[in-house]
Amino acid sequence: MRCTVQKYMWGKFGCDSLVAAIAKNNDTDLTVTVEVPPAELWMGTHPSRSCLGAVYGMPPPGAVRRAVDGHPPLGPNGDGGGGSSTRLPFLFKVLSVRTALSIQAHPNKTLAAKLHREKPQHYKDDNHKPEMTIAVTPFEALCSFQKINSVLENCRACPELVAVVGREAVAAPAALHTSRLREAVVVPALKRVFTRLMTAEQARTVWELSRYLLHHLVLEPSRNCLGTVWELSRYLLHHLVLEPSRNCLGTVWELSRYLLHHLVLEPSRNCLGTALFLNANEPHAYLFGDCIECMAESDNVVRAGLTPKFKDVDVLCEMLTYDDGPPYMVPPLLIDGGAERYIAPVPEFLVDRAMVEAGGAVLLPASPFVSIVVVVEGRGEL
């Protein structure tokens, strides 16, 4: 198949881009410009970006759908996941991330159907979008809320954030240390802080950051909050001087570090390492690196902050689970034949990965439904 390439400002340029390298080997019609770099390589049958080109010698357009038409089962339920034998139940992607994506979450099926019905121009389908991310290079991401105690302590230790969300929002509830009623204590506390941050007036937030930097760099340098000062200085230099037209959207992302887990997914020589699974209604933002991403066949994204795309802040703040547990990590399982398997807790997809040494071989197991194989690096015989 000939794959579709999506270009966004957060993508990597030139030889640093895994997306560009695979697209070139895939004979994809890709023109790399200095204005908007390639960011995503799509493999699948989603109506927004269905793969084009020759499959088994068939001409475009719609070749992939014709190739799979009449050859069920494509998915675990004997269809394409959406009731059609011409649709794959999953969407497979390669991402090359240079700068942070928007803070976002994906709706469950009930909310997806509602959003698609009410705002079809922004939500192109009615499906949920659980997804799994596997690092190809060291891959950074923000995801899922830290424990409520850590969130409130982080916030109280960050004067500029307290000034933005309000002192009462970061005050620990009286029952925090004794109550086990998550819905009554943890969820309201996290929701209050997150919503205040997502809906804060950008100009006020930038003023608070500037005042904080002036105090700690000039008036009271002995306190040495170097990590925070460096991060905020870099942000202010970039968004206020180098790129003022972005309207300070990055402020929300910078301060979200105090609320969400910061992960670095590490690949290794013999295996890709642990994968990150993101279920419906979990906040996340990718920061840097190259990855393989597999998800249910959907393009539904609810965004807030750091994006020129459509933002739906109220929906995002209302839809989140506000779980304060650890991120959902998926370790690989070694299976017969030498491949590794990442099993997601959803029926639409799983991912196998094979590292073939020179002169060696790996047996790819039979798949329960139609598969897509992508060569990330090297050459070989299939």
Tens digits of residue pLDDT in 22-36: 988 876 666 666 678
Contacts of 119 by beta carbon, 8 Å cutoff, 6+ apart: 312
Task: Return the residue matching tokens 């990330």.
Answer: 376
Contacts of 178 by beta carbon, 8 Å cutoff, 6+ apart: none
Lowest mean pLDDT of 72-81, 128-137, 182-191, name the range: 72-81
Query: How many other C-beta atoms are found inside a 10 Å radius of the C-beta of residue 76?
Result: 15
**Confidence grade of residue 63 (pLDDT, cut at 50, 70, 90):** low
Q: Of these residues, 49, 192, 257, 303, which one is catalytic?
A: 303
Tens digits of residue pLDDT in 294-307: 999 999 999 986 66
**C-alpha–C-alpha distance, residues 223 and 229, integer Å:** 11
Contacts of 209 by beta carbon, 8 Å cutoff, 6+ apart: 160, 232, 235, 236, 251, 254
Known binding residues for Zn(2+) are 104, 106, 131, 284
Q: Give CA angle at 154 (149, 156), nearest 5°.
A: 95
Contacts of 375 by beta carbon, 8 Å cutoff, 6+ apart: 22, 25
Give me 103's structure tokens.
């803070």
Known binding residues are 104, 106, 131, 284
340: closest CA among 349, 351, 329?
A: 351
Tens digits of residue pLDDT in 269-288: 555 578 999 999 999 999 99
Give me 20's structure tokens.
């560009």
Does residue 303 have an active-site annotation?
Answer: yes
**Confidence grade of residue 192 (pLDDT, cut at 50, 70, 90):** very high
